[in-house]
Amino acid sequence: MRFDTVIRNGTVVTAMDTCVGDVGINGDKVSAIGAQLPVENAGRVIEAAGHLVIPGGIDVHTHLDMPFGGTTSADDFQTGTIAAAFGGTTTLIDFAIQYKGQTLRQAFDTWMKKAHDKAVADYAFHCIITDLGSAQLEEMAQLIREGVTSFKLFMAYPGVFMLDDATIFRAMSQAAKYDGLICMHAENGGAIDVIVQKALAEGKRAPKYHALTRPTTAEAEATSDRGLPAYAETCPQYLYLSLENMDAPGFEGAKYVFTPPLREKWHQEKLWQGLAKDTLQVVSTDHCPFCFKEQKELGKDDFTKIPNGGPGIEHRLSLIYTGGVHGKRFSPNRFVEVVSTAPAKLFGLYPRKGTIAVGSDADLVIFDPNEEQVISVKTHHMRVDYSMFEGIQIKGVPKTVFSRGRAVIEAGKFVGRPGAGQFVRRQTYSVV
């Protein structure tokens, strides 16, 4: 048997198993996993002894090239997917936004164009619905057939994204009929808006009031259910940062203005435990970068004008490995599950992605579990002028990253090609 590439002697970690062995790649697929695969005729042999070989990370919540709050998120599909790849993420699910009066098709086409020539790794889309007439209701079924199998609805941002209960109910019913999945931004937007207006009237305009006007009760009310099957994500910022970050001097707190907001520090451990115990299934990033200069500054005198979002696409795997595995909260297998396998299953990418198996896409990361780095804006690859995680030490770093059999990152360098990433038609979800 001949291989294009053999990754030798790595510790192959999936959500289920750990074994030391070789992974053979032909074309864009994994073609063999075993002990001592023949390497005589292999196109390329990579030694991975002492390293983990894991499935490429899947980030199911990113906002690249997204217009918001009078500006546009700072990473496009090129810089965003490159930064993602440096961090070991090889598939993104971004959001195609349907603006009021548009068809869902227009939203999908617009975002496909943004990604097409730029993405260096694979991508898919959720569709954000803001307007659901009978034509768009029919389109939901069509999009599901074309591989856009999940829809994002907002219970917050009145006047922009927020939907009324009737629309939410119609969307959920239609999704149920065609096996689509609804992703919900769950905060009581109406109540929050009243609190925000009151704060502004009292002259409370600093960045931290963004968090203080969005109380946990507004989230609790929006997430309560009757024990129905629901899954939940968290993001590294909620595991590493807290309300204290928003007390930074001057306007610095604006760097941490995103939604849902940061909470008191004690929430962090609860969230880690949620991941350990599977109350939370997925770690995504909600990557939505705005530069501090000129973008975040739009809200210098009024926190409601600060573009909401933070940059996080690059360090998800390292941060979760550091706090989860080195922090002795869960196993390397659970790490793989929350950053890759569970997202793949929920969003219809499994087993093509999210695992290492014969026939799966060769989206692979050779990960050094013991290398240490300090996160900094000086070394990151995101196109944004600050890091939310500045100064945080990580232990566990991606070294070589493959997207469908092609190296994208090697020896700390980007070696991929813009436009090489492909749109992935997703299946409907399966139970995690």
Tell which positions 270-289 bind Zn ion, by CB under 5 A. Answer: 286
Nearest to 55 by CA among 281, 322, 272, 345: 345
Angle at 115 between CA 110 and CA 118, to 5 degrees: 140
Shortest distance in whole angstroms from residue 376 CB to Zn ion: 24
Shortest distance in whole angstroms from residue 288 CB to Zn ion: 6
Which helix H or strand E contains 167, and what residues bound it? helix 165-177
Distance CA 334, CA 281 (A): 10
Shortest distance in whole angstroms from residue 203 CB to Zn ion: 30
Q: Please tell me whether residue 404 adopts helix, strand or coil conformation.
A: coil
DSSP 3-state percent helix, strand, coil across the chain (nearest 5): 30, 25, 45
For Zn ion, the closer of residues 94 and 122 by Cβ is 94
Beta carbons of 172 and 140 less than 8 angstroms apart:
no
The answer to whether 59 contacts Zn ion (rule: CB under 5 A) is no
For Zn ion, the closer of residues 59 and 286 by Cβ is 286
Shortest distance in whole angstroms from residue 286 CB to Zn ion: 4
Q: What secondary structure letter does DSSP report for 218? A: H
Distance CA 303, CA 211 (A): 10
Shortest distance in whole angstroms from residue 5 CB to Zn ion: 35
Write down the residue that tokens 């696409």 correspond to. Answer: 313
- Burial of 269 (C-beta count, 10 Å sphere; 0-12/13-18/19+): exposed
Distance CA 358, CA 13 (A): 14
Nearest to 267 by CA among 215, 312, 308, 330: 215
For Zn ion, the closer of residues 76 and 286 by Cβ is 286
Residue nearest to Zn ion (CB): 286
Count of chain residues binding Zn ion (CB under 5 A): 1
For Zn ion, the closer of residues 219 and 286 by Cβ is 286
For Zn ion, the closer of residues 65 and 286 by Cβ is 286
For Zn ion, the closer of residues 231 and 330 by Cβ is 231
Q: Quick count: other Cβ atoms within 10 Å of Cβ 315?
A: 28
Shortest distance in whole angstroms from residue 346 CB to Zn ion: 16
User: Which tokens go with 88?
Assistant: 């070991």
For Zn ion, the closer of residues 12 and 156 by Cβ is 156
Q: What are phi and psi of 212, to 5 degrees?
A: -70, -20
Q: Please tell me whether residue 185 adopts helix, strand or coil conformation.
A: strand
Shortest distance in whole angstroms from residue 179 CB to Zn ion: 23
Torsion of CA 172, 219, 307, 113, to 10 degrees: -20
Shortest distance in whole angstroms from residue 195 CB to Zn ion: 21
For Zn ion, the closer of residues 54 and 388 by Cβ is 388
Shortest distance in whole angstroms from residue 126 CB to Zn ion: 10
For Zn ion, the closer of residues 237 and 387 by Cβ is 237
Q: What are phi and psi of 143, to 5 degrees?
A: -60, -40
Tell which positions 89-118 bind Zn ion, by CB under 5 A. Answer: none
For Zn ion, the closer of residues 22 and 286 by Cβ is 286
Cross-strand bridge partners of residue 114: none
Shortest distance in whole angstroms from residue 66 CB to Zn ion: 9
Q: What secondary structure letter does DSSP report for 314? A: T
The binding site for Zn ion (CB under 5 A) comprises 286
